[in-house]
Structure 1
Amino acid sequence: MHFLPEKLDDYVVAHSQEEPELLQQLTRETYQKILQPIMLSGPYQGRVLSMLSKLIRPKSILELGTFTGYATLCLAEGLQKEGEIDTIDVNEELVDFQRKYFDKSGYGSQIQQHLGSAIDILPTLDKTYDLVFIDADKPNYSNYFHLVIDKLNPGGIILSDNVLWHGKVVEPLKDKDISTKAVLDFNTLLRNDDRIETVLLPIRDGLTISRRK
């Protein structure tokens, strides 16, 4: 989703770092073999995630919503040498696809895949995190926040994707539009929770940065 005029958006992309070759390969294969390839973070947002991770230098990362592993690998670029990533997804058919690229990247031994519902898996993860990336099913965004906030270290960061939801957050809400309602509620939750400080960035489909106080 692009909210900038096309020419300006092209300029922004052209003057940002290019994605690594491995991620280009991952993107090509995702579009060739996987349904809904539009779910990929994409090269520009991927470089944003990479830059944020490099600035944060996390020792532990939690990702909700792996898909084909593109964002996982972008976040891994800032991981400390002995750091680890826990990434959760419900799609069993993507596990081998993800693992192939994780192992090609050199970060494979640091990435732990979890298959199943994040609602069920999160309570079983007995650790804390420096960086959390939420990019899964929208109706559970608020539930995910409540499950991860106490696992977030002081000064830790939550990145939340798709928080502008194709621009629907500023349109009249339709009665049966559960996902848009969930995103609206989630954005309000982040704005009002006094445990964090939050800024919403109009990057692609919206990316929120929330810092644990």
Structure 2
Amino acid sequence: MPDFLVNEAIEDYAFISTGAEPALLQELIDATNENMGWPQKLSGRLVGRTLKMLVALAQPKVALEIGMFTGYSALSIAEGMPDDGRLICCETNPRAIEFAQGFFDRSEHGHKIEVIFGRALDTLETLDLELDFSFIDADKRSYLEYYERVRAMTRPGGLIVLDNMLWSGKVIQPESDIDDTLVELNRRIAADPDVENIFLTVRDGVNVVRKLR
């Protein structure tokens, strides 16, 4: 699995040419690398700043994240939300939740974040609310189910952002059920007249979807 889908020097240039995340998030990156397995699951600066920018523009009052890990993307989203915004995060790793909560408690934006432990599909069944913004970044085999559930809960004009939609380029030549799932979801989004989308080749592919009706 390649680390970079574009030339590494260009990736580095995009990184240094993007405004840095707050110091607390940089500390979170370092702590994740030192203390947690699979630190590459972090969204990182390019995706994180993209999320923050989209949220700052959209100003959602109710947001959802599926797949929180150590909280980098959650804090990026919360940073852009209004002070009375609510971000619900779904996560199945108790250690990651404990780790992330330590950083949420230190952040001026942490009060916006509510973490729910358990399978996201089960959690979604318990939520009776209308979503303004969602970020999907969990197990890829469930992406179709996540997307359809979240799409139904999203208000017209709301945004849904899906990460890893290039899947290290495997969507070009699918070889597994995960690849096939992402290919089908990308196809379904592009063909849906009730949404509009833009597929960004940021990091591992970010599909930004706006619900029209």
Query: What's the offset of the Cα at 1:98?
Result: 1.2
> 2:158: which partner in 1?
156
SS in structure 1 at match of 2:179: helix
SS in structure 2 at match of 1:105: coil
The share of aligned pairs that are identical, in percent, is 37
SS in structure 2 at match of 1:4: coil
CA deviation string 1:25-67 (max 9, x = no partner):
1011111111100000012221111111111111111000000
Could you tell me which runs of 5 or more consecutive residues in structure 2 were left unpaired when the two chains were aligned.
none
| Cα root mean square deviation, aligned | 1.1
Give the distance between the partners of 1:7 and 1:16, measured in 2 at CA: 14
2:83/2:112 contact within 8 Å kept: no
Which residue of 11, 23, 32 maps to 2:13? 11
- What TM-score do the two structures reach when normalised by structure 1? 0.95
Residue 209 of structure 1 aligns with an amino acid whose one-letter code is V
Query: What's the offset of the Cα at 1:158?
Result: 0.3
> 1:31: which partner in 2?
33
> 2:198: which partner in 1?
199
Residue 85 (structure 1) aligned with residue 87 (structure 2): yes
Query: What's the offset of the Cα at 1:162?
Result: 0.3
- What TM-score do the two structures reach when normalised by structure 2? 0.95
Give the distance between the partners of 1:109 and 1:5, measured in 2 at CA: 39
Query: What's the offset of the Cα at 1:2?
Result: 2.6
> 1:147: which partner in 2?
149
Query: What's the offset of the Cα at 1:108?
Result: 2.2
> 2:97: which partner in 1?
95
1:42-57 alignment runs, 5 A limit = 42-57=44-59
Displaced runs of 4+ in structure 1, greater than 3 A? none
Give the distance between the partners of 1:136 and 1:197, measured in 2 at CA: 22
Could you tell me which runs of 5 or more consecutive residues in structure 1 were left unpaired when the two chains were aligned.
none
Which residue of 159, 164, 167 maps to 1:165? 167
2:91/2:119 contact within 8 Å kept: yes
Query: What's the offset of the Cα at 1:194?
Result: 2.3
Give the distance between the partners of 2:45 and 2:106, measured in 1 at CA: 18
SS in structure 1 at match of 2:54: helix
Residue 206 of structure 1 aligns with an amino acid whose one-letter code is G
SS in structure 2 at match of 1:170: coil
Give the distance between the partners of 1:37 and 1:7, measured in 2 at CA: 21
CA deviation string 1:137-192 (max 9, x = no partner):
00100101111112111100000000000000112x32xx1211111111112112
State the number of aligned residues.
Answer: 210
> 1:108: which partner in 2?
110
1:60/1:79 contact within 8 Å kept: no
Give the distance between the partners of 1:91 and 1:195, measured in 2 at CA: 34
1:142/1:189 contact within 8 Å kept: no
Residue 139 of structure 1 aligns with an amino acid whose one-letter code is R
Give the distance between the partners of 2:73 and 2:150, measured in 1 at CA: 19
> 1:67: which partner in 2?
69
Query: What's the offset of the Cα at 1:195?
Result: 2.0
Residue 158 of structure 2 aligns with an amino acid whose one-letter code is G
Give the distance between the partners of 1:210 and 1:62, measured in 2 at CA: 14
Give the distance between the partners of 2:105 and 2:15, measured in 1 at CA: 28
Give the distance between the partners of 1:150 and 1:179, measured in 2 at CA: 23
1:133/1:159 contact within 8 Å kept: yes
